[in-house]
Amino acid sequence: MTLQKTGIPLTKEIFAKTTQSLRKNPNLFIPFLIFAAFESLSLIFIYLIPRMPLVRLFGPPIRTFWGERFLHYPANFLLMPKLGSLARMGLSVVIGSLLTGIAVLIISEVYHKKQIKMEVAAKSALRKYPMLLVIILAVTALFYLSVKFCTITLAKYFIAGHSRLLFLKPAIWMGPILICINFIAGIFLQSLFTYAIPALMLDKEKLLKAIWKSFVLFKKLFLPTLCLVGLPMLLYIPIIVLSYHNAFLIYKLFPEFILWVAFLSMVVSSLIIDPLVTVATTLLYLEHKGNK
């Protein structure tokens, strides 16, 4: 494969190589399975928070930030997606950063047809752990701030007395449109930083140079990068739709359905989207590096 192709043809070739690599090398899934295990434990933990003895420790902050009712059945399930999202963000920074570094090294070994050495990859990632953490923390913080900024800006606009924005009512802006804006922002930010960890782990770049290299490469491979990051994330749209109707699911079906949606979200994001995006963008990075 060469980088003479661009845009959609290049994207198709990289995706074909990605699915082939994942199919032939199940070990590529190991870092993502480990993360999924941690995320599953966090969901079980969140589910058990209203019960003793966890409620003694975690009940007070929930009462402070969200209210007493979210510690009682069935309203506790309304808060579960929010707490699950916060838990995933924290795990992504603390654990996911290290596991992504390991995954990138394994992908490189597969690409160069070398024997996969998990222990060596783990030791190399541990040495770079502080820098890996900073990269993922930067992406997570920027996404969180962008979500807060859009939400607060729209809320202030409508609180100020405006009944419509571009002929649309507040319910539309604060619902589907805001979700779409946040979804697009997530794709863009992940695309912007997606080559930073490969640059750090594979080319031994310093932190700031790795981040800058990712920005430059994103600009150069703009369309393929957006496609490689964005297309797998489209698989998450049904989860978003389900999460948007949490109240309906709780009161029209049964509250525990939210827990199953949370586990489905974990499977889709951690075991499908993350492997596809990480493998695809790392392969594109390696192809670009090899074709200089």
Helical spans, DSSP H, in the chain: 7-24, 30-48, 54-65, 76-91, 97-111, 118-127, 129-159, 170-172, 178-193, 196-202, 207-220, 222-233, 237-244, 246-248, 257-268, 274-290
- What pLDDT does 2 receive? 46
pLDDT by residue for the chain (292 residues), tens only, comes to 445 556 677 888 899 999 999 999 999 999 999 999 999 999 999 999 988 888 888 888 898 888 888 888 888 888 888 899 999 999 999 999 999 999 999 999 999 888 888 889 999 999 999 999 999 999 999 999 999 998 899 888 888 888 888 888 888 888 888 889 999 999 999 999 999 999 999 998 899 999 999 999 999 999 999 999 999 999 998 888 887 777 777 777 777 888 888 999 999 999 999 999 999 999 999 988 766 5
3-state secondary structure of 105: helix
- What pLDDT does 1 receive? 45
3-state secondary structure of 270: helix
Q: Spell out the domain ranges in the chain.
A: 7-290
Specify the pTM: 0.89
- What pLDDT does 173 receive? 84
Residue type, 278: T
